[in-house]
Amino acid sequence: MTPNTLLELGRLYCERGDLKQAEPKLVEASGLFFALKDFDNFLEAQNLLLRIFAEREQFDKIQETKEKLQDLVLKEGFELSSKTFYTLGLAAHYRNQAELSLDYGQKALSLALAQDNKKDICYAIFLIANTYTLEPINRHQDALKEIYNLQVFFQVLDIPDLKAATYMLNARILCILKKYDEAIDVAWKAYDLLKVTKNSSTSLSLLGLLGWIYSEAGDKEMARFYVGLLMRSVDPQNFVRTAKMGKQLSEKMGAETQSQFDLIFDEAQNAIIEKKLGKVDFKNQFILLDLLKLFVQNPGAVFSKEYLVENVWKQPYDPSVHDNKIYVTIKRLRKMIEPDYEKPKYIFRAKNGYFMNKSARVLMEQ
């Protein structure tokens, strides 16, 4: 297999989100390109590998790549091009070495301008703009100016992946500046572009970004929707960083939701959260879950013993068999979800059955 084929396969695997398949292809392509002294394609493979390492939070591999590249630039025959400094800057950025990343980005831009290589100019500007957002630099207005310069280039250059990444960076900065409506508008521009490019890897990051922006803007319902989509779509083994971001957002919103509702039933995960008790572990107690689900979905509705037996246990009602079984099951359910079993606040007994207190603030998440 030729190095160009290996590089293209690695790129395609990255785009569809299969990083485990992409890495060996890109490693092999890198070695072949370097042996051929095809440094442009060698660096392209290295850039893709750096993104994989960053997504997996393999910081030791990022550092190893950076050190290898630094050694190579000292050796005769390795081209000190804009791409070289961009790749070094990318590695430094992923290591949160802001000043070093900015220095490499400026060197990359200087060489690209000298050669009038517009594509390399765009990548260098993006690196600089992205680095401006890192601690301790925090030059967000300068980052927006660089993004404006990129948008001028995009009018004549077709670099869809970089354009989508630029929209996402722009949206992130606007959110930091609390310009939430503008941030959402720009994020949707990235979404429209990704519908065409079909880059599933970047699309996952965009779901997380939208969830974060809506959360910061105070729209918790929309935030939960996008974070939920992300968590159902992401492979945590492949996308460690993105999955971690989604988990942090979920936990943050869960904590906020918990303060607003007494009881939360996450139907997709069969997870129960009680305001005071926190997460309630039902393990594999499906009868209890089905019983609680029935009550939660119908607050205030009284369910007779006959109805419960026929619809939860799926059996014909027999008082001699089921009356005690219902009593014991309701008792077990109360002990699990009631903060004070002696003073229940959720499930009550009526003259002819049981019901969920309709005054309780209950959220049924789909």
> Does residue 278 sit in the same domain as residue 348?
yes
CA-CA distance, 237 to 231, in Å (whole number)?
12
> Does residue 212 sit in the same domain as residue 276?
no
The HSE-up count of residue 145 (CA atoms within 13 Å, CB side) is: 5
Does residue 66 sit within a domain?
Answer: no
Looking at the structure of the chain, the number of domains it has is 2
pLDDT at residue 121, rounded to an integer: 96
- Whether the CB-CB separation of 204 and 240 falls below 8 Å is answered with no
From 228, 260, 292, the end of a domain falls on: 260
pLDDT at residue 268, rounded to an integer: 67
Model confidence at 199, in pLDDT bands (50, 70, 90)? confident
> Does residue 307 sit in the same domain as residue 252?
no
CA-CA distance, 336 to 323, in Å (whole number)?
20
> Does residue 279 sit in the same domain as residue 255?
no
Q: How far is CA 309 from the centre of its chain?
A: 42
Position 345: which residue type?
Answer: K
Write the pLDDT tens digit of every residue in 52-99: 999 888 999 999 998 888 888 777 667 778 998 999 998 999 889 999
- Whether the CB-CB separation of 347 and 295 falls below 8 Å is answered with yes
- Contacts of 137 by beta carbon, 8 Å cutoff, 6+ apart: 98, 99, 102, 131
More confident position, 239 or 167: 167
- Residue 179's CATH number: 1.25.40
Does residue 140 sit within a domain?
Answer: no
> Does residue 200 sit in the same domain as residue 288?
no
The residues pairing with 11 across neighbouring beta strands, listed in sequence order, are none
Share of the chain above pLDDT 70, in %: 96
Does residue 256 sit within a domain?
Answer: yes
> Does residue 186 sit in the same domain as residue 235?
yes
> Does residue 242 sit in the same domain as residue 324?
no
pLDDT at residue 141, rounded to an integer: 96
> Does residue 192 sit in the same domain as residue 284?
no
pLDDT at residue 259, rounded to an integer: 62
Does residue 126 sit within a domain?
Answer: no
Answer yes or no: is pLDDT of 258 > 60: no
The 3-class SS string of the chain reads CCHHHHHHHHHHHHHHCCHHHHHHHHHHHHHHHHHCCCHHHHHHHHHHHHHHHHHCCCHHHHHHHHHHHHHHHCCCCCCCCHHHHHHHHHHHHHCCCHHHHHHHHHHHHHHHHHHCCHHHHHHHHHHHHHHCCCCCCCCHHHHHHHHHHHHHHHCCCCCHHHHHHHHHHHHHHHHHCCCHHHHHHHHHHHHHHHHHHCCHHHHHHHHHHHHHHHHHHCCHHHHHHHHHHHHHHCCCCCCHHHHHHHHHHHHHHHHHHHHHCCEEEECCCCEEEECCCEEECCCCCHHHHHHHHHHHHCCCCCECHHHHHHHHHCCCCCHHHHHHHHHHHHHHHHHHHCCCCCCCCCEEEECCEEEECCCCCEEEEC
> Does residue 180 sit in the same domain as residue 252?
yes
The dihedrals phi and psi of 278, each to the nearest 5 degrees, come to 80, -150
Does residue 166 sit within a domain?
Answer: yes
> Does residue 241 sit in the same domain as residue 280?
no
From 260, 284, 310, the end of a domain falls on: 260
> Does residue 170 sit in the same domain as residue 249?
yes
Answer yes or no: is pLDDT of 149 > 80: yes
- Residue 347's CATH number: 1.10.10.10
pLDDT at residue 48, rounded to an integer: 92
pLDDT at residue 272, rounded to an integer: 82
Model confidence at 196, in pLDDT bands (50, 70, 90)? confident
Does residue 342 sit within a domain?
Answer: yes
Does residue 297 sit within a domain?
Answer: yes
Does residue 171 sit within a domain?
Answer: yes
CA-CA distance, 156 to 154, in Å (whole number)?
5
From 198, 226, 260, the end of a domain falls on: 260
47 token code pair: 């850039």
**291 is in which domain, residue-wise?**
271-365
Share of the chain above pLDDT 90, in %: 52
> Does residue 243 sit in the same domain as residue 208?
yes
